Chain A
């Protein structure tokens, strides 16, 4: 297993466009998390899945954000009508059900111009 994979690594988009990021977790991990991180700050929780069920969604996540995890495997995070304030690193992590130790991907850096 090669760990958690995120694509793309970088995305530059114009304000108002839609973007979609993909995360492939470690195959045996039940839980998958999305976090957002700005430069020099700690990650902020966005949402998480246990298998295919989305169990929690942060109040930070406006209606423009949606995440899916079909069949409990990979996950996608979509941002509609992007705004400059959406510029950040979007991190995906996965873990086992019984273990809080996260394995993070390398992240997708989004720049909205």
Chain B
């Protein structure tokens, strides 16, 4: 049973650029949730994807968008990067869209300069 894999592990982008982060869900999981963890803070819910559709969103602007693919992997896209977007982005897969049974990846550390 494979866990949740996120790529890349680290990246540095310039303000105004766009970035795509990727997440492979755990085998048997059909739901992917994305969280942003700023330095010294707890994770904040960005959105959740279930069966290739967004079915929940936190308090994040539309420049944060995502996709889920038929194999349940997912992408997080952020346009027009701002300095405050610098954070650890965590992907969590789960067997259902309930908030239970999360398996988290190790995260992608995004630095915006």
Is chain B found bound to chain A in the same assembly? no
